[in-house]
Amino acid sequence: MKPGKLAFPARATILLCLVAAISAMCMAGCSKKATVSLPKERTPLVLATTTSTADTGLLSAINPAFEAKYPYQVKTIAVGTGEALKLGEKKEADVLLVHARSSEDKFMADGFGTRRLDVMYNDFVLVGPKEDPAGIKGLKPEEALAKVAADGKPFVTRGDDSGTHKKEKELWKAAGVKAEGAWYISTGQGMGATLKVASEKRGYTLTDRGTYLATKSLELEIIVAKHPSLLNPYGVIEVKGAKNAEGAKAYADFITSAEGQKIIAEFGKDKFGQPLFFPSAAK
Protein backbone atom coordinates (compact mmCIF):
# COMPACT_ATOMS: atom_id res chain seq x y z
CA MET A 1 0.00 0.00 0.00
CA LYS A 2 1.37 3.43 -1.00
CA PRO A 3 2.06 6.04 1.73
CA GLY A 4 -0.79 8.59 2.27
CA LYS A 5 -3.54 6.23 1.15
CA LEU A 6 -5.91 4.30 3.38
CA ALA A 7 -7.20 0.85 2.69
CA PHE A 8 -10.92 0.70 1.78
CA PRO A 9 -12.00 -0.74 5.17
CA ALA A 10 -10.25 2.06 7.03
CA ARG A 11 -11.72 4.78 4.81
CA ALA A 12 -15.20 3.27 5.19
CA THR A 13 -14.84 3.25 8.95
CA ILE A 14 -13.89 6.92 9.06
CA LEU A 15 -16.76 7.83 6.72
CA LEU A 16 -19.28 5.98 8.87
CA CYS A 17 -17.97 7.76 11.96
CA LEU A 18 -18.37 11.13 10.26
CA VAL A 19 -21.94 10.32 9.19
CA ALA A 20 -22.81 9.18 12.70
CA ALA A 21 -21.37 12.37 14.20
CA ILE A 22 -23.27 14.61 11.77
CA SER A 23 -26.49 12.69 12.41
CA ALA A 24 -26.04 13.05 16.16
CA MET A 25 -25.49 16.79 15.80
CA CYS A 26 -28.58 17.12 13.60
CA MET A 27 -30.73 15.15 16.03
CA ALA A 28 -29.52 17.26 18.93
CA GLY A 29 -30.29 20.43 17.02
CA CYS A 30 -33.76 19.24 15.97
CA SER A 31 -34.53 18.12 19.51
CA LYS A 32 -33.49 21.49 20.90
CA LYS A 33 -35.64 23.30 18.33
CA ALA A 34 -38.70 21.14 19.11
CA THR A 35 -38.33 21.81 22.85
CA VAL A 36 -38.09 25.55 22.34
CA SER A 37 -41.20 25.63 20.09
CA LEU A 38 -43.49 24.13 22.74
CA PRO A 39 -45.40 26.66 24.88
CA LYS A 40 -43.75 27.09 28.28
CA GLU A 41 -47.08 27.79 30.02
CA ARG A 42 -50.72 27.76 28.96
CA THR A 43 -52.95 30.68 29.91
CA PRO A 44 -55.99 29.64 31.98
CA LEU A 45 -59.40 30.17 30.36
CA VAL A 46 -62.39 29.91 32.69
CA LEU A 47 -65.54 28.50 31.08
CA ALA A 48 -68.76 28.66 33.09
CA THR A 49 -71.37 26.36 31.60
CA THR A 50 -74.53 24.41 32.29
CA THR A 51 -74.24 20.91 33.73
CA SER A 52 -75.72 19.34 30.59
CA THR A 53 -72.62 20.08 28.51
CA ALA A 54 -70.48 18.37 31.15
CA ASP A 55 -72.84 15.49 32.06
CA THR A 56 -73.24 14.45 28.42
CA GLY A 57 -69.47 14.46 27.85
CA LEU A 58 -69.66 17.06 25.08
CA LEU A 59 -66.95 19.23 26.64
CA SER A 60 -64.61 16.24 26.71
CA ALA A 61 -64.81 16.31 22.92
CA ILE A 62 -64.71 20.08 22.35
CA ASN A 63 -62.17 21.34 24.88
CA PRO A 64 -59.22 19.07 23.92
CA ALA A 65 -59.74 20.00 20.25
CA PHE A 66 -59.70 23.68 21.21
CA GLU A 67 -56.60 23.31 23.38
CA ALA A 68 -54.78 21.55 20.54
CA LYS A 69 -55.06 24.73 18.46
CA TYR A 70 -54.71 27.50 21.05
CA PRO A 71 -52.29 28.23 23.96
CA TYR A 72 -55.06 28.11 26.58
CA GLN A 73 -56.02 25.62 29.26
CA VAL A 74 -59.78 25.46 29.77
CA LYS A 75 -60.97 25.38 33.36
CA THR A 76 -64.63 24.32 33.36
CA ILE A 77 -67.14 25.32 36.03
CA ALA A 78 -70.31 23.28 35.43
CA VAL A 79 -73.28 24.85 37.22
CA GLY A 80 -76.81 25.91 36.38
CA THR A 81 -77.20 28.62 33.74
CA GLY A 82 -78.33 31.16 36.35
CA GLU A 83 -75.17 30.60 38.39
CA ALA A 84 -73.00 30.66 35.25
CA LEU A 85 -74.42 34.07 34.33
CA LYS A 86 -73.72 35.33 37.85
CA LEU A 87 -70.11 34.19 37.52
CA GLY A 88 -69.95 36.17 34.30
CA GLU A 89 -71.37 39.28 35.98
CA LYS A 90 -68.68 39.03 38.67
CA LYS A 91 -66.01 38.40 36.00
CA GLU A 92 -65.15 35.09 37.64
CA ALA A 93 -65.51 33.44 34.23
CA ASP A 94 -64.16 34.49 30.84
CA VAL A 95 -66.67 32.80 28.57
CA LEU A 96 -70.11 31.24 29.08
CA LEU A 97 -71.90 28.35 27.38
CA VAL A 98 -75.51 28.48 28.56
CA HIS A 99 -79.14 27.79 27.59
CA ALA A 100 -81.70 30.31 28.80
CA ARG A 101 -82.21 32.77 25.97
CA SER A 102 -84.24 35.41 27.84
CA SER A 103 -81.67 35.49 30.64
CA GLU A 104 -78.84 35.60 28.10
CA ASP A 105 -80.46 38.57 26.34
CA LYS A 106 -80.80 40.39 29.66
CA PHE A 107 -77.15 39.65 30.45
CA MET A 108 -76.16 41.27 27.17
CA ALA A 109 -78.57 44.21 27.56
CA ASP A 110 -77.16 44.91 31.02
CA GLY A 111 -73.69 45.25 29.49
CA PHE A 112 -72.07 42.15 30.97
CA GLY A 113 -71.18 40.53 27.63
CA THR A 114 -69.39 41.71 24.50
CA ARG A 115 -70.74 39.09 22.07
CA ARG A 116 -73.32 36.29 22.07
CA LEU A 117 -73.46 33.63 19.35
CA ASP A 118 -75.82 30.73 18.68
CA VAL A 119 -74.01 27.40 19.12
CA MET A 120 -76.41 24.45 19.14
CA TYR A 121 -79.76 23.15 20.31
CA ASN A 122 -81.55 20.05 21.44
CA ASP A 123 -84.90 19.76 23.20
CA PHE A 124 -86.40 19.29 26.63
CA VAL A 125 -88.44 16.18 27.39
CA LEU A 126 -90.73 15.16 30.22
CA VAL A 127 -89.64 11.78 31.53
CA GLY A 128 -91.21 9.47 34.07
CA PRO A 129 -91.91 5.84 34.98
CA LYS A 130 -92.67 3.53 32.08
CA GLU A 131 -96.19 2.87 33.40
CA ASP A 132 -96.94 6.64 33.31
CA PRO A 133 -99.04 6.75 36.52
CA ALA A 134 -100.42 10.25 35.78
CA GLY A 135 -101.46 9.26 32.26
CA ILE A 136 -99.83 12.24 30.54
CA LYS A 137 -98.54 10.57 27.38
CA GLY A 138 -99.65 12.44 24.26
CA LEU A 139 -100.59 15.63 26.14
CA LYS A 140 -99.09 19.08 25.59
CA PRO A 141 -96.34 19.93 28.12
CA GLU A 142 -98.48 22.36 30.16
CA GLU A 143 -101.43 19.92 30.15
CA ALA A 144 -99.15 17.13 31.29
CA LEU A 145 -97.79 19.17 34.20
CA ALA A 146 -101.28 20.23 35.26
CA LYS A 147 -102.34 16.56 35.40
CA VAL A 148 -99.25 15.52 37.38
CA ALA A 149 -100.04 18.24 39.93
CA ALA A 150 -103.76 17.40 40.07
CA ASP A 151 -103.00 13.72 40.70
CA GLY A 152 -100.27 14.54 43.23
CA LYS A 153 -97.75 12.32 41.48
CA PRO A 154 -94.08 12.92 42.37
CA PHE A 155 -92.36 15.58 40.29
CA VAL A 156 -88.64 16.18 40.83
CA THR A 157 -87.25 19.63 40.04
CA ARG A 158 -83.67 20.81 39.92
CA GLY A 159 -84.68 23.96 41.80
CA ASP A 160 -81.31 25.55 41.02
CA ASP A 161 -82.17 28.44 38.65
CA SER A 162 -80.57 26.51 35.79
CA GLY A 163 -81.74 26.80 32.19
CA THR A 164 -83.80 23.64 32.68
CA HIS A 165 -85.33 24.98 35.89
CA LYS A 166 -86.17 28.28 34.17
CA LYS A 167 -87.93 26.39 31.37
CA GLU A 168 -89.81 24.26 33.89
CA LYS A 169 -91.08 27.40 35.67
CA GLU A 170 -92.27 28.78 32.33
CA LEU A 171 -94.26 25.58 31.75
CA TRP A 172 -95.81 25.63 35.23
CA LYS A 173 -96.86 29.23 34.61
CA ALA A 174 -98.40 28.26 31.26
CA ALA A 175 -100.21 25.42 33.04
CA GLY A 176 -101.61 27.85 35.63
CA VAL A 177 -100.21 25.73 38.45
CA LYS A 178 -98.29 26.82 41.54
CA ALA A 179 -95.90 23.93 42.01
CA GLU A 180 -95.68 23.20 45.74
CA GLY A 181 -96.51 20.47 48.18
CA ALA A 182 -95.19 17.06 49.20
CA TRP A 183 -95.39 15.81 45.61
CA TYR A 184 -93.01 18.54 44.37
CA ILE A 185 -89.45 17.49 45.24
CA SER A 186 -86.50 19.88 44.81
CA THR A 187 -82.95 18.52 44.59
CA GLY A 188 -80.97 21.75 44.22
CA GLN A 189 -78.57 19.70 42.09
CA GLY A 190 -77.59 19.17 38.47
CA MET A 191 -79.49 17.26 35.81
CA GLY A 192 -77.73 13.93 36.27
CA ALA A 193 -78.41 13.86 40.02
CA THR A 194 -82.01 15.03 39.53
CA LEU A 195 -82.71 12.26 37.03
CA LYS A 196 -81.38 9.74 39.54
CA VAL A 197 -83.73 11.03 42.24
CA ALA A 198 -86.68 10.98 39.82
CA SER A 199 -85.88 7.37 39.00
CA GLU A 200 -85.67 6.43 42.68
CA LYS A 201 -88.93 8.24 43.54
CA ARG A 202 -90.74 6.80 40.50
CA GLY A 203 -91.55 10.39 39.58
CA TYR A 204 -91.52 12.78 36.63
CA THR A 205 -89.00 15.47 35.75
CA LEU A 206 -88.04 17.83 32.94
CA THR A 207 -84.65 17.22 31.36
CA ASP A 208 -82.71 18.07 28.25
CA ARG A 209 -82.69 15.12 25.86
CA GLY A 210 -78.89 14.93 25.74
CA THR A 211 -78.43 14.34 29.47
CA TYR A 212 -81.30 11.85 29.49
CA LEU A 213 -79.70 9.81 26.71
CA ALA A 214 -76.34 9.92 28.50
CA THR A 215 -77.99 8.44 31.64
CA LYS A 216 -80.48 6.14 29.94
CA SER A 217 -79.70 3.26 32.31
CA LEU A 218 -82.12 4.91 34.76
CA GLU A 219 -85.69 3.58 34.95
CA LEU A 220 -87.27 6.54 33.18
CA GLU A 221 -88.97 6.84 29.80
CA ILE A 222 -89.65 9.85 27.60
CA ILE A 223 -93.35 10.57 28.07
CA VAL A 224 -93.86 14.01 26.49
CA ALA A 225 -91.60 15.44 23.77
CA LYS A 226 -91.30 17.15 20.38
CA HIS A 227 -93.33 20.25 21.16
CA PRO A 228 -92.30 23.80 20.08
CA SER A 229 -92.27 25.01 23.69
CA LEU A 230 -89.62 22.40 24.52
CA LEU A 231 -86.91 23.71 22.16
CA ASN A 232 -83.59 24.13 24.01
CA PRO A 233 -81.08 26.50 22.32
CA TYR A 234 -77.54 27.10 23.62
CA GLY A 235 -75.41 30.21 23.21
CA VAL A 236 -71.80 31.20 23.87
CA ILE A 237 -71.09 34.59 25.48
CA GLU A 238 -67.81 36.47 25.80
CA VAL A 239 -67.75 38.22 29.17
CA LYS A 240 -67.07 41.95 29.06
CA GLY A 241 -63.89 42.82 30.96
CA ALA A 242 -62.86 39.15 31.18
CA LYS A 243 -59.42 38.38 32.56
CA ASN A 244 -58.71 36.37 29.41
CA ALA A 245 -60.69 38.25 26.76
CA GLU A 246 -58.52 36.93 23.91
CA GLY A 247 -59.08 33.36 25.05
CA ALA A 248 -62.83 33.96 25.37
CA LYS A 249 -62.97 35.23 21.79
CA ALA A 250 -60.91 32.29 20.55
CA TYR A 251 -63.25 29.82 22.30
CA ALA A 252 -66.38 31.47 20.90
CA ASP A 253 -64.85 31.51 17.43
CA PHE A 254 -63.80 27.86 17.68
CA ILE A 255 -67.09 26.42 18.98
CA THR A 256 -69.00 28.23 16.20
CA SER A 257 -66.45 27.37 13.49
CA ALA A 258 -66.89 24.57 10.95
CA GLU A 259 -64.58 22.36 13.04
CA GLY A 260 -66.40 23.02 16.31
CA GLN A 261 -69.81 22.58 14.74
CA LYS A 262 -68.75 19.27 13.21
CA ILE A 263 -67.69 17.99 16.64
CA ILE A 264 -71.13 18.91 17.99
CA ALA A 265 -72.94 17.31 15.03
CA GLU A 266 -71.05 14.03 15.42
CA PHE A 267 -71.05 13.81 19.20
CA GLY A 268 -73.13 10.92 20.54
CA LYS A 269 -73.68 9.10 17.24
CA ASP A 270 -71.23 6.30 17.99
CA LYS A 271 -72.51 5.63 21.51
CA PHE A 272 -76.21 6.51 21.32
CA GLY A 273 -76.97 6.11 17.62
CA GLN A 274 -77.98 9.76 17.39
CA PRO A 275 -76.41 13.17 18.10
CA LEU A 276 -77.12 14.70 21.50
CA PHE A 277 -76.99 18.25 20.13
CA PHE A 278 -77.51 19.91 16.76
CA PRO A 279 -75.24 22.72 15.53
CA SER A 280 -76.91 26.07 14.91
CA ALA A 281 -74.10 28.62 14.45
CA ALA A 282 -74.70 28.86 10.71
CA LYS A 283 -78.47 29.35 11.06
pLDDT (tens digit, 9 = 90+) per residue, 95-116?
Answer: 999 999 999 999 999 999 999 9
What is the SS3 assignment for the chain? Answer: CCCCCCCHHHHHHHHHHHHHHHHHHHHHHHHHHHHHHCCCCCEEEEEEEEHHHHHCCHHHHHHHHHHCCCCEEEEEEEECHHHHHHHHHCCCCCEEEECCHHHHHHHHHCCCEEEEEEEEEEEEEEEECCCCCCCCCCCCHHHHHHHHHHHCCCEEECCCCCHHHHHHHHHHHHHCCCCCCCCEEECCCCHHHHHHHHHHHCCEEEEEHHHHHHCCCCCCEEEECCCHHHEEEEEEEEECCCCCHHHHHHHHHHHCCHHHHHHHHHCCHHHHCCCCCEECCCC
Task: Name all domains of the chain by residue range, CATH numbers in brackets.
Answer: 43-122+233-279 (3.40.190.10), 123-230 (3.40.190.10)
Tens of pLDDT, residue by residue, the chain (283 residues): 444 444 434 443 433 334 344 344 434 443 333 333 435 689 999 999 999 999 999 999 999 999 999 999 999 999 999 999 999 999 999 999 999 999 999 999 999 999 999 999 999 999 999 999 999 999 999 999 999 999 999 999 999 999 999 999 999 999 999 999 999 999 999 999 999 999 999 999 999 999 999 887 689 999 999 999 999 999 999 999 999 999 999 999 999 999 999 999 999 999 989 999 999 997 5
